[in-house]
Amino acid sequence: MPRLARSQHRSRTGSVTARKRRSRLPRTGYLANPASLIGIPRLEAAHAGSRITFGCSDLTALAQTLVEIGFATESDWIAAGRAPAALVDSVFRRCLRDHGQEIIAEHFELSLTLGESIVDTGYSDSGADSNGQLFLVLNTESSFPLGIGTVIEELERCHHGMGVAFYDTLRQALYRWVRVYDDWDARNRTEQMMEWAEGEEDPDSYEIPKLEQDLPECLKARAPAETSQSLDPFPAPTELSLKELVQVTLELHRISHSMERPRLDEDWLESQRSYHSLDLPLPAILLYFRPGDAVMACFDDECEYWGQETPEPNLIIPLRPDDPASVRQALAVVETLMQVLVQTVRIKSIVEGVVNHTRDSEAPEIRHKLLSY
């Protein structure tokens, strides 16, 4: 078992990823296979071309449906050179741009693609059993790090239980849309590490993170099956930044629960998982407490092994290209997802402000203690 190290940050603002080892996957964009997909790379503000080759009838039907439901106009059709593929591409890019794509791209590394399959394949026999559906799929290369230990403690000082309620509300809202790596994942990892170490000749020689000591005090006594607390009943904090944090978190929770996550036929999904040997989705968000804590250490350790198998997408949005209700629903889901991500970026900005303020306010006290020795 390798020793644990701190997660390494990439140059992109707010992304955390691991060293690439033993991965059989190419770099970001692997879902945008020119053989089968429309690529909407990384939700970025600027794009270089598009790749469209799946069934022309599907694109024609989807383009016609977009016009029917009012997401495309005659001028869009003319601007697209009267090409269905170009019209579809233009509409989806506009949808992303109008719902916070630029903000999201500054902090997340995400790939949203439209195709016949939920994974990138060099052949498309898997599309034959897709029941006439297309799929928007969301994948991530690196995780958005959100360190919340300080704000949990500050909220707990305002009102007993408020820090715990904030954590529960935030986690619930995010989990509905993307995979989150948090202290429960870290707990499972440390238990797995201890099992591995027990089978070795010198188990004490293995460095295993000590999760309990890194948890905020209010979370240490929590049992895994304990009921989650809601942030709603608590009075607003008087401190402005904490008040804003609570308001934005409640708004994130409202947005997250304003729409159901798309449902897929479970039998079909299981067959796809088996057929493509899909692994768990890569975490889109890393919730940790302090830089270099046990959660980050476990995350970094697990990153060593992610990528050996194709990950399942974080989110799969099915749509029927000739069904106006289905296409409208798919676009509404994309809008909701974008709002969730934008609110998450807002929360990180507020959290960083609280952390900096707390650090600055504690500095004079620390200097006084040093001088008194």
| The pLDDT of residue 17 | 44
| The pLDDT of residue 9 | 35
333 is a domain residue: yes
Cβ–Cβ under 8 Å, residues 101 and 87 = no
- Its pTM stands at 0.81
| The pLDDT of residue 45 | 42
Q: Which mean pLDDT values do the consecutive 10-residue runs of the chain (373 residues) have?
A: 32 39 30 35 40 56 92 90 89 93 92 87 47 88 93 96 96 96 93 81 75 92 73 94 97 97 91 91 96 94 85 95 96 97 97 83 52 52
346 is a domain residue: yes
45 is a domain residue: yes
| The pLDDT of residue 365 | 53
CA distance 141 to 88: 25
In the three-class reduction of DSSP (H, G, I as helix; E, B as strand; rest coil), residue 318 is classed as strand
30 is a domain residue: yes
Question: Domains in the chain: how many in total?
Answer: 1
| The pLDDT of residue 309 | 86
CA angle 48, 53, 56 (to 5 degrees): 125
308 is a domain residue: yes
2 is a domain residue: no
173 is a domain residue: yes
Domain housing 349: 8-372
| The pLDDT of residue 343 | 98
| The pLDDT of residue 56 | 55
Helix and strand tally (H, E) in the chain?
Answer: 11, 9
CA distance 242 to 236: 8
Residue 42, CA distances (Å) to 141, 224, 246, 267, 358 in order: 9, 35, 29, 30, 34
364 is a domain residue: yes
